[in-house]
Structure 1
Amino acid sequence: MAAVKGEKTLAELAQQFDVHPNQITTWRSQLLEGAAGVFDSDNASATAEPAIDVKTLHAKIGELTLANDFLAGALGKAGLLPSAKR
């Protein structure tokens, strides 16, 4: 943000933040290019989050819970489970 404000020279900013002046220039360019996209209404639909399938997620949670329970039981029988979890 300091580079965009223009209150200090590139050399002063590089010394203040202990980075190379080229890095500041790169960051400034990326910010200016990306800032337009934030306010672009056409781009809003392209970045919308995909639909979440709750049933699939619940099925995966059940599957992982079953696997964890099975492994915990097997480790307990083998005596490999820490004493706090027995």
Structure 2
Amino acid sequence: MDADFCVEALNEAIAKHGQPETMNTGQGSQFSGSAWTTTLTEAGVRNSMDGRGRYLDNIFIERLWRSLKQEAIYLEEINYGFQARRVIKDWIAFYNTERPHSALERLAPDDAYWAGLNEQKAT
């Protein structure tokens, strides 16, 4: 992963979702180089590479990647990029709409999200 890819992804995310208050990153060269830090500064985003709580920052995404690999990627014979895209897309849809999650009282994320919105409307 090079700095140009990271900066492009950052710019796309800011354009699509707005600027975050703080960006937590690793300490790799793509995140400590001038292209990344200048982009953050110009967007008014604080850059944090302190490492405090880092395992907590990454624990959820690491668990997601682990589940994706064990439940989909490793079970398929993937020879082409379009196959990988299909497998990942299908699994993410399954993960969000059908797969029960123990942390969500055995609901799928979509069901938990909508239940939470309905509870908020009721109060």
- Fold-level similarity (TM above 0.5): no
Higher fraction of strand: 2
TM-score interval, smaller chain: under 0.3
TM-score normalized with structure 2 length = 0.22
